[in-house]
Amino acid sequence: MADKTFTLTNDETGDAVRLMVRESVQGPPTVDVTSLYRQMGVFTYDPGFMSTASCTSGITYIDGEEGVLEYRGYPIEQLAESGNFIEVAYLLLYGELPNKDELEKFDGIITHHTMINESLKGFFNGFQSNAHPMAVMVGVVGSLSAFYHDSLDINDPRHREISAHRLISKMPTIAAASYKHSIGEPIVYPRNSLSYCANMLHMMYATPCEDYEPDPVAVKALNLLFILHADHEQNASTSTVRLAGSSQANPFACIAAGIASLWGPAHGGANEAVLDMLTEIGDVSNIDKYIARAKDKNDKFRLMGFGHRVYKNRDPRATLTRKVSHECLSALADQNNPMFELAMRLEEIALSDDYFIERKLYPNIDFYSGIIYRALGIPNNMFTVMFSIARTVGWVAHWLEMMDDPQQRIGRPRQLYNGYQRRQYVPLDKR
């Protein structure tokens, strides 16, 4: 069958170029513009990449119109039901669900990489206790390449795999240590007899003075949140990891770059911003005032946890987190938690308002995840840290996929220049 093409014509000169169409397995096809500048002397212009596919990937598929999210072809709803984050991590990394032996082996590898170099403990003490934990995460994760020289050859597939395992394993240990440092408590070592999520809660809440057993409801909720946050196609932080990786930077530096990008309130920082917003709104009687502010073009205020670049229907993850937040609050916190009541009323009012309906601004995953983290006793400034733990699986999966791509090259976008034309230097005494 003849290749599908698009023809682009310069209406001024009549020059035309035929561009190949590359079909997706599912989702929109793409027009290959790699030869456009060479053939027509023009760049494409797409700030925010609203219409740009930056790479080929087989890890995650999103249909924003239909509210579909699939990891390696499996619907997120079914994976959420499975309730095992490590199984989903294996799926994202290796492309297939593990059998029993593969899962046990992988779980054992991840469990036995959880400790961090003892000298890293001094690094935490270099931060003031009121440092934002995300600042600590960026710093400490970025420093890991100083410790693991035995897995830094990015051209060695085995080194890449070991670094990926180390990052997935050590994120909870580093995250819990940053939390312990912020509250002036001693760092708690991982316990290998616990599951990944139970270990996270253990390292956050155990103390040397008494035993701590993670609540099974909390472990189940954390498993779900980590599964839902594990990957999401070419979002801002994943694209950051890919761009950093394209220069052949080491994986620890790439993941630190991803953590930095995720921190922004327009992206992963939104879950913390949702709770701050609900706290600021304070009471149902103030909702109308804040909805008006969110609609006011002259007001920078936005309804945090609403809207999404891709989902123009319900974010399937928000639907799942909304359901679990109910369960968590009834089991772990007071049923009529004012924050939750306020969130439910805010959602109800916003979704009946034409401004949000016309712009298809539905609650996204961050709208309810913060409420669950709050019910688990996790402080607001740790919400995005929890997001980064889960998303590390997606980040390293994309990094591995990119490094395995024989066509991989350094990412180097161009620009639409709108600065001064060439001009001559003016000596100081003449200015």
As annotated, the active-site residues are 308, 366
For residues 378 and 372, give the distance between their C-alpha atoms in angstroms, rounded to a whole number.
9
For residues 354 and 361, give the distance between their C-alpha atoms in angstroms, rounded to a whole number.
10
Q: Closest CB to ligand SDX among 23 and 296?
A: 296
Q: What's the min distance (Å) between Cβ of 320 and ligand SDX? A: 13
Q: Closest CB to ligand SDX among 232 and 374?
A: 232
For residues 431 and 426, give the distance between their C-alpha atoms in angstroms, rounded to a whole number.
7
Q: Closest CB to ligand SDX among 141 and 228?
A: 228
Q: Which of 311, 104, 108, 328 is CA-nearest to residue 224?
A: 328
Q: Closest CB to ligand SDX among 191 and 302?
A: 302
Q: Kindly give the pairing relationship between strand 30-31 and strand 68-71.
A: unpaired
Q: Is the dihedral of CA 30, 35, 40, 43 positive or negative?
A: positive
Q: Which of 57, 51, 59, 55 is CA-nearest to residue 34?
A: 55
Q: Is the dihedral of CA 378, 380, 381, 385 positive or negative?
A: positive
- HSE of 106, CA atoms in CB hemisphere, 13 A: 23
Q: Closest CB to ligand SDX among 180 and 232?
A: 232
CB 268 within 8 A of CB 137: no
Q: What's the min distance (Å) between Cβ of 117 and ligand SDX? A: 30
- Number of residue whose CB is nearest ligand SDX: 307
Q: Which of 265, 281, 266, 263 is CA-nearest to residue 347?
A: 281
Q: What's the min distance (Å) between Cβ of 268 and ligand SDX? A: 6
Which residue ranges make up the site for ligand SDX (CB under 6 A)? 232, 235, 266-268, 270, 294, 302-310, 359, 361, 364-366
Q: Where are the beta strands (DSSP E) in 201-304?
A: none
